[in-house]
Structure 1
Amino acid sequence: MTFGERLRGLREERGISLAELARATSYSKSYLSRVETGRRPGNAALAAACARALGVDPDRLGPPDAPGTGVAAPGNTVAAGAAAPPPPAVPVQLPPAPGVFAGREAALAELDGALSSARPRWGEGGPRVWVIDGMGGIGKTALAVRWAHRARDRFPDGVLFSDLAGHGSAGAPREPGEVLDGFLRALGTDTGLIPPGVADRSALLRTLLAGRRVLLVLDNAAAPAQVRPLLPGAPGCVVLVTSRTRMAGLVVRDGARRVTLDPLPEEQAVELLRRTLGPERVDADPAAARELVRRCGRLPLALLVAAERALSRPGLTLTRVNEELRSDRTRLHVLAAAADGDSALRVVFSWSYRALAPEPARAFRLLALHPGAALTAESAAALLGTTAGNAGELLDVLADVHLLELEAPERFRFHSLLQVYGRELAEGQDPPRDRAAALDRLYDWYRQGADAAGRLLEPGARPAGAAPLPGVRPPVFAGVPDAVAWCEAHLADLLSVIRYAALAGRPPAAWQLPFALWSFFHRRHHRAEWLNAARIAVAAAADSPDPRALTVSLVLLGTAQVHAGRPVEAEIHLRRGLERCAADRGDPESECAARNHLAELMLRQGRAAEALELLEPALPLGRTIGHRWAERVTLTNLGDASLRLGRLADAERLLLEALSLRPTGTDHRTEGLALLHLGTVHRALGRLPRAVGCLRRALELHRAAGDRWAQGRTLEQLGHAFAALERPADALPLWQEALDLMTETGDPRAATLTAQLAGVRGGRELPPPGAPGLRRWRGSAPGRG
C-alpha cells in the first residue's frame, strides 16, 4: 500500500474530510488530493503534520514513498539496527514528473538513443546540448521533465533545473547571472566565493562541472545568448533546453540537436484524454472524444484544461462540452484552425475562467498582473487588497481548475500563457485605476518587507518609503534569519518587480526597492543582482520628483561597485552623490553614507589620509541626524583610518567612543570591526592581554554575523598577539585558519600571510612585538570591507 493510500484510509476511518485535513495541516486541499491519488509524492514534513492532525502514531502512516516507487517491494527492508546510508550530496532540482502523460514515443526514443550503453559517458562522440522546441502549449516542459526523470540514474552527480522565463511574461527573461548564482549555490559554492560578473560565474560553473556527470534542464529559454553562459565544458554533462524558438544559433554554433514537437497524433491525444478523464467516460462516446481532440488542436495543455472542465462536472458528457464550444463561432474558428498557439489556448483557458464565481474571476485577472510568476497567500493578498487567509482560499480555487499551478505547499505559479491571458482579461474588464492600485499595493508590500529586513540587518537604517498603503499588511520577521530567508525566497520576484516598475514608468518602486535591499545584497554577496538593481534605480531616479531619489541611488550604485571590485566606477558615482548632497544641503543621511562608503573605498586602496579628511565632516552629520548606528559606523571608520596612519592615541579614543554607543538592535558587524581595530591598537602598544581579549570578542561577533572576511582578518591579528606573547603553538593554528578564510574570500592579505607562515615553519623567528611589528602590518590594517 502506498503512502497516499494509507493516508486516505486513516482519514476516512476517522471521518475527516479532505478540506478539514487541509485546514489542520496548513497544506492545500488540492495538494493533499494529489498525494492521496499518487499524483504527488509525500514527504516527511507532510507525514508528521498529517499524523498530528489525525491523532495517530506516525508509524501508522509509515514513511513517504521513495520517488518513482509505489508499494515497497519485498526484500528491500533494512536490517534491524542497521542505518541506511546517507543520500548523495548532489543537487536534484527537477520538479515532479507530469501527473498525466501520453505519446511522444518518438521524441523519447530519440533522447533515449543518446543513452546507449555503447557510450560510457553520454556526450562523448555526440551532442551535449539538446533543444526541445515547438509552439506554446505543445508540451515541451512535460517532455523534458518526463525524460529527465527517466534518465536521472545516468547522472550520478545531480540534476540542475531553471525556468528562464523567456516567453509569455511581461517581465524580462531571467538574466544568466541570476541563474548561474542559483546553480553555483546548489553545487555547494559559498556565497562569498561567487564572482559578480557573468563571465566569471560561467567559468566557475564549468570548473565545478569538469569531470562530473550532471544534467542541466533549462526551461523556456528566450534566445541562445541567454543559454550560452550556462553551458558546461565537460563532455560528461548534458544540457536540455526547451524554447518556443528554434534556437538556430545553438544548433549552428554549439552543435545542439533539435527535437521539434508537433501536435499529438489523434490517437495519442485521445489516449491523453482517457488517462485524464478515465477510460469509461471517453470510451462511452469515442466520436465526441475525437471531436474534442480536433477542437483543441491536439495540443496537450489545451486537452488537459478541457478535461479539467469535464472533471469538475461529473455529469457533463463530452458531447455537451463540444456543444459549449459551438456556441461561440468566432472562438471556435480560432480554436479549430489557428496556427498561433496563443490564440488557440485563449479559447480553452476561457472555459475554466467562465466557470469561476465573480470573486475568484477577479482574483485571476489581478493576480496575473504580478510582474513575476510565483505567488504566496501574502503577496496575493497585497494585489487583491484582502487578507492572506482569503487570498489563500482564492489561490486554492484557481489551482483546482488549473488556472494556477501548485509549485510547492502554499506556493503557486502561473503558466506563462495563462498569465498573458489573465492580463488581457484584466485590461479589458478592470478599470485602469483598479489595476494601478493593485500594482501599487504589490510594490508597497515588497518594499515594506525589504525595509523591515534591512532594519534588522543594519539597525538604524532609514526606511525607503512611507507607511504602508491601505490594504497592505507588511511581512513581519522574527529575527535576522527569518528576514534573510524571506529575501532569498522572493529574490527572483523582487528583481522582476524592480525591472517591471522601471519599464512601466513607476520611479518610486524602481529606486526604493533596490535601496531597501542594499544590506541584504551586501550580507548575502548578491553582487551582480545588486549592481543590476542599482543601475535600474539610478535610471529611474532621474525621472523621480523626489529630490533624494537620485542621490541615494548614486550612493547605492557606488557602494555596489565598491564590493564588486570596480573602484574607478565606484568613486565616480560616490563623488557624484556627494556633490549632489553638497549642492542641496537637504539630505544629511545620504551625505553621511556617501562619505563613509567613499572612505571605505579609499581605505581599501591605502589612501588613509584622504579617507580621514573625508570622514571628519561625516561625524557631525551622523550626530545631527540622530542615528547612533550611522555615528558608530563613522567613528569606526575614523578609528581605522587613524590606525593606518599610526595615530594610535586618536584611533583608541575614536574606537572606544564607537563601542560606547548602543544603537537600537544588534549590530555584530560594526561592533566586531571596532573591536578588531581596537585589539590591533592594543597589540601595537604592547598591551597584549587586552589585545587578546578584544580580538577574541571580535571573532565571536564576526562568527555570529557570518562575516568570513572579517573572521580571517581577526584571526590574523589574534595570531600576532599570541606570537608577541611568545606562544607560537597558539599562533600557528590561528594563522592557518586565517589563511584558509582569506583564500576563500579573495583577501589580498593571503599572499603575505602565506609567506609569513612559510618563514615561521622554515625556522625563522616570529615577528617581534612593538614598533617594528607596527611597520610590518600598518599598510594593510583591517578595513571595514
Structure 2
Amino acid sequence: MTAHQQEVGAGPVTFGGRLRELREERGLSLAELARATSYSKSYLSRVETGRRPGNEALAAACARALGVAPSRLGPPDAPATTLAVRETLTPAVPARHLPARLPSVQLPPLQLPPAPGVFAGREAALAELDGALSSARARWGEGGPRVWVVDGMGGVGKTALAVHWAHRVRDRFPDGVLFGDLAGHGSSGAPREPGEVLDGFLRALGADTGLIPPGVADRSALLRTLLAERRVLLVLDNAAAPAQVRPLLPGAPGCVVLVTSRTRMAGLVVRDGARRVTLGPLPEEQAVRLLRRTLGAERVDADPAAARELVLRCGRLPLALLVAAERALSRPGLALARVNEELRSDRTRLHVLAAADDGDSALRTVFSWSYRALAPEPARAFRLLALHPGAALAAESAAALLGTTAGNARELLDVLADVHLLEVEAPERYRFHSLLQVYGRELAEGRDPARDRAAALDRLFDWYRQGADAAGRLLEPGARPAGAAPLPGVRPPVFAAVPDAVAWCEAHLADLLSVIRYAALAGRPPAAWQLPFALWSFFHRQHHRAEWLNAARIAVAAAADSPDPRALTVSLVLLGTAQAQAGRPVEAEIHLRRALERCAADRTDPESECAARNHLAELMLRQGRAAEALELLEPALPLSRTLGHRRVERVTLANLGDASLRLGRLADAERLLLEALSLRSTGPDHRTEGLALLHLGTVHRALGRLPQAVGCLRRALELHRAAGDRWAQGRTLEQLGHAFAALGRPADALPPWREALDLMTETGDPRAATLATVLGSTPGTTPGSAPGGPGSAPDGPGRRAVTAGPDRARLGYRSGT
C-alpha cells in the first residue's frame, strides 16, 4: 500500500492518487508539475487529495508533463460532491444563494459563434493577442486577470477578429469558452444588462438555475467563484462601456477576457489593466487578399487595377468589401470596373454598400449605431465636421467649422475619437474614414439648415485663408493680404517665427489643396483664388511645384467668375510664376503677358502690374534675355515708388541690378543693388536682401574685389538659410566657391561647391549638371579650372570666356527668383 493510500485510507486508488504516485516517482514537486501543465498548484493539490475531480484535458496535460501514456493515470474521477463544490465558493456569496449542486455530467461550455466564413490579414493583431498566451508571461495561477480590448470603428472587423482568434486558441482553455453579445451598438435597442449576461454564463457553467442570485453583485461573485480554478476564455462582444463589462470579469488568473467595442474602453485599461488592440482599415494588400478569398482569385486577377480601386472605394473596410464582393458575386457577369462606377458617387455609395436582405449589414445602418449613441453636441459636431473638404482635422480648423473655441472643439474631437467616429492620426490631428465622412455629410444635409452648413464652410475657408496670409506675411514681409479681416467666430492662426509658419503650411497642405478644389467646384471663387495667392511665398520657398501649378490653374478658372477685378490678373501672375518654376517658360510667358495686358487696359492695379513685370523679367533673365528684361523693368521702378511699397521697390531694384550685371554694366548694377540694400522694409526681408547681396557679390568678383565678394556672399548665404530658401542657398554657395577659387584657395572652394551641388540637385536647378561634371572630373581645383572661373563658363559645358572685363559668361552667374 502506498503512502498515499495509507494517508487516505484503504480503497481503490483515485485519479488524484495515481497522479500523485506518478509525480513522486519522477521526483517532480507540485510546483514543477504546475509550471509544466499551466494548471495552478492549488488546483492540482485538490485533485490529488480528491477534493476536485480531474478531467480529460487535465489527464492529457499531466500525461505529457510526466512522460507517460494517459492510460497510466486512468479515467478521471466522477464530479465532485456538493460538499466539495461548496468548499470552493467564496464567502462573498450569501449562503442562501449557494448552488445546491452542479450537474453530475457537465461538458465545458463552447459558446463561440461559427468562425468567419472569410477572413484575411490582421496578422499583427493576431500576434498581439497571442501574447496573452505567451509562455514568457506569468504562468497560469499567477498575476491578475488578463483582459484584452479590441476596439475600432463600425465595420472594421472587430468581432470577426475576436471569433477567429478564439476558435484558433480554444484548445488552450480546457474548461470552455463563454461568448456574450453585449449589444452595445446595434439594432436591438439598449445594451444588455450585465445581470442578464451573468445569468447566461452561470447556467452555462452548471450553476443550479433555481439558486442563481438575483443581484448583479452576487451573480458576479458567483461567476468568480465558479471560475476560480478553471481556465476559461470569455469573449464579450460589442461592449458599450467599462461599467457593462466589469461585473463579467473573473478573478481567476487562468482566464482570459477578450472584449470588442467601438469605444476605447479607457476605464478598463486604467482600472483593470486591460491591453488594447486597435483595428484600423485593412492594409491594401490584405484588403485585396480578402477580395480574392471572397470573389475568387481568377476574377480578381483578371483586373487587378479594378480590384485595387474597389478596395479604395470601400475605404479598405472589411464589411464594405464583403458587401461589395457579394454584389459582384450575385451578378457573375458584372465586371469589377462596373462595381467601381456604382461606388464613385458619394451620394450613392452607402446605398450601394448595403446587403439587400440584411439591414444590419448595411454600412449606413452600422454607422448609425455609433451616431445614435452621441449626445446632441457631439452629434452636431460630427455632422458639421464631415463637411470639411479634406479628411484631416485639427482643433483649430474644427473650431472654425463649429464656430467655437479650440478648447471646446478639442473636447468634441476626443469624444468622437473615443467612439471611433474619428481616428487619431497624430497628436492633435484627427482623420475621418472616407465612408464615415460620407455618412456624416448625408446627416448634415438632412438635419442642418443650408445656411448653417454654408456658414460653417465660410468660417473654415476664412480660417485657412487667414493662416496662409499670416504665413505669407512672415515669408514675404510687406506682401499684400489675399483677403479682408477675419469673419466673426474665426480665430486666425498666429505664428511666432518663419519656421512655425512653414510647419503650419506643411501640416495643412493636403487640406489647403482640398479646400481650394472644393471651393472651385462649389462655386466659391474668393476662396478658390485667394488661398493659392496667399500660399504663393510658401509654394516658392518649399518648392512644391506640382501643388503650386495645380492650385494656380484652379485660381485662374475660379477668378474668371469673380466680381473682384484684380482676381484674374493676380491669378494669371500666380500661374505664370508657377509655370516658370515648373520649367514651362513658354506657358509662363503667355500668362504673364496676359496679366500685363489686363494691367495696361485697366490701370487700377499697379501692384499687380509691378508683380507681372518683375516675374516676367526674372523669366527672361533665366533665358539670357537681359536686354528685354531691363526694358521691361524700367517702367516698374517709378510705378513701385508711387505705391510707397518698399518691398516691391527693393525687388525691382534687385532685378534691375541683375539685368545690368548680365549686360556688363557693372557700375549701374552696383549702384542699383546698393540702393536696393539701403531700403528698409516694414519687416525683415531675408530673401530679397539675400538676392541683392548675391548679385552684389558677383559684381565684386567680376571687378576683382575678391575679399568683398566673399563677404557679400557669406552674408547672402546667412540670409538665405534664415529664410529657408534652398534654391538661393545653392546659387550663393556656387558663387562663393568661385570667389575662393579666384583667390587661389581651391581647398576652400570644394566644400561650398559640394553643398551647392546637393542643393541644386534637390531643387531641380539646371546648373547642377555643369557643377557635377566639373567636380566629378577634377581631382584638384585651381583658379583656371574652377566652375565659373576664368577658364570656363558655368552656363554650359565647353563654353570659353575671356579672362578680363565684365563679360557675362565670365561672371559665372544666372539669376532667377
TM-score by length of 1: 0.59
2:701 corresponds to which residue? Answer: 683
Structure 2 counterparts to residues 83-98 of structure 1, below 5 A: none
The answer as to whether partners of 2:323 and 2:353 remain within 8 angstroms in 1 is no
Kindly indicate whether structure 1 or structure 2 has the higher relative contact order, using CA contacts under 8 Å at least 6 residues apart: 1
CA distance in 1, matches of 2:607, 2:451: 35
Corresponding residue to 1:487 among 505, 518, 526: 505
1:102 maps to a residue whose letter is A
1:777 corresponds to which residue? Answer: 809
557 and 219 in structure 1: CA distance in 2 versus 1, 3 angstrom threshold: farther
SS of the residue corresponding to residue 772 of structure 1 reads coil
1:673 corresponds to which residue? Answer: 691
2:575 maps to a residue whose letter is L
1:776 CA drift (Å): 6.4
Structure 2 counterparts to residues 102-501 of structure 1, below 5 A: 102-103=160-161, 251-252=301-302, 338=356, 344-501=362-519
The answer as to whether partners of 1:451 and 1:463 remain within 8 angstroms in 2 is yes
734 and 513 in structure 1: CA distance in 2 versus 1, 3 angstrom threshold: closer
The answer as to whether partners of 2:677 and 2:689 remain within 8 angstroms in 1 is yes
2:735 corresponds to which residue? Answer: 717
Structure 2 counterparts to residues 545-694 of structure 1, below 5 A: 545-694=563-712
SS of the residue corresponding to residue 406 of structure 1 reads strand
1:668 CA drift (Å): 1.9
CA distance in 1, matches of 2:764, 2:490: 42
The answer as to whether partners of 2:572 and 2:592 remain within 8 angstroms in 1 is yes
CA distance in 1, matches of 2:611, 2:604: 14
1:514 corresponds to which residue? Answer: 532
402 and 605 in structure 1: CA distance in 2 versus 1, 3 angstrom threshold: same
Which has the larger Rg?
Answer: 2
587 and 220 in structure 1: CA distance in 2 versus 1, 3 angstrom threshold: farther
Corresponding residue to 1:505 among 482, 499, 523: 523
The answer as to whether partners of 1:383 and 1:442 remain within 8 angstroms in 2 is yes
252 and 618 in structure 1: CA distance in 2 versus 1, 3 angstrom threshold: farther
The answer as to whether partners of 2:404 and 2:489 remain within 8 angstroms in 1 is yes
1:427 maps to a residue whose letter is E
CA distance in 2, matches of 1:463, 1:242: 51
382 and 341 in structure 1: CA distance in 2 versus 1, 3 angstrom threshold: farther
1:103 CA drift (Å): 4.6
SS of the residue corresponding to residue 160 of structure 2 reads coil
SS of the residue corresponding to residue 425 of structure 2 reads strand
SS of the residue corresponding to residue 700 of structure 1 reads helix
CA distance in 2, matches of 1:517, 1:629: 18
CA distance in 2, matches of 1:656, 1:559: 26
239 and 219 in structure 1: CA distance in 2 versus 1, 3 angstrom threshold: closer
CA distance in 1, matches of 2:595, 2:608: 8
469 and 643 in structure 1: CA distance in 2 versus 1, 3 angstrom threshold: same
592 and 689 in structure 1: CA distance in 2 versus 1, 3 angstrom threshold: same
CA distance in 2, matches of 1:482, 1:253: 46
The answer as to whether partners of 1:370 and 1:439 remain within 8 angstroms in 2 is yes
1:69 CA drift (Å): 7.2
SS of the residue corresponding to residue 102 of structure 1 reads helix
CA distance in 2, matches of 1:466, 1:664: 20
The answer as to whether partners of 1:684 and 1:771 remain within 8 angstroms in 2 is no
Per-residue CA shift, 1:582-603, capped at 9, x if unaligned?
1111111111111111111101
TM-score by length of 2: 0.56
CA distance in 2, matches of 1:252, 1:347: 33
1:483 CA drift (Å): 1.0
734 and 622 in structure 1: CA distance in 2 versus 1, 3 angstrom threshold: same
1:416 CA drift (Å): 2.1
CA distance in 2, matches of 1:737, 1:337: 61
258 and 608 in structure 1: CA distance in 2 versus 1, 3 angstrom threshold: closer
Could you list the runs of 5+ residues in structure 2 that have no partner in the other structure?
A: 1-121, 138-152, 166-185, 187-279, 312-317, 325-350, 792-801
2:809 maps to a residue whose letter is W
The answer as to whether partners of 2:477 and 2:682 remain within 8 angstroms in 1 is yes
Per-residue CA shift, 1:56-115, capped at 9, x if unaligned?
xxxxxxxxxx9997899979xxxxxxxxxxxxxxxxxxx9x98946359999xxxxxxxx
The answer as to whether partners of 1:404 and 1:415 remain within 8 angstroms in 2 is yes
477 and 340 in structure 1: CA distance in 2 versus 1, 3 angstrom threshold: farther
1:782 maps to a residue whose letter is R
647 and 396 in structure 1: CA distance in 2 versus 1, 3 angstrom threshold: same
1:686 maps to a residue whose letter is G
Could you tell me the percent identity over the aligned residues? 79
CA distance in 2, matches of 1:493, 1:680: 42
- Quote the RMSD (CA, aligned, Å): 4.3
The answer as to whether partners of 2:746 and 2:783 remain within 8 angstroms in 1 is no
SS of the residue corresponding to residue 391 of structure 1 reads helix
1:628 CA drift (Å): 1.5
218 and 621 in structure 1: CA distance in 2 versus 1, 3 angstrom threshold: farther
556 and 249 in structure 1: CA distance in 2 versus 1, 3 angstrom threshold: farther
Per-residue CA shift, 1:518-558, capped at 9, x if unaligned?
11111111111111111111111111111111111111111
CA distance in 1, matches of 2:354, 2:753: 74
SS of the residue corresponding to residue 448 of structure 1 reads helix
Could you list the runs of 5+ residues in structure 1 that have no partner in the other structure?
A: 1-38, 42-65, 76-94, 108-136, 138-216, 222-237, 262-271, 273-292, 301-332
Per-residue CA shift, 1:408-432, capped at 9, x if unaligned?
3332222222222222222222221
The answer as to whether partners of 1:219 and 1:242 remain within 8 angstroms in 2 is no
1:346 CA drift (Å): 2.2
The answer as to whether partners of 2:702 and 2:811 remain within 8 angstroms in 1 is no
518 and 352 in structure 1: CA distance in 2 versus 1, 3 angstrom threshold: same
SS of the residue corresponding to residue 579 of structure 2 reads helix
SS of the residue corresponding to residue 807 of structure 2 reads helix
347 and 491 in structure 1: CA distance in 2 versus 1, 3 angstrom threshold: same
CA distance in 1, matches of 2:421, 2:136: 41
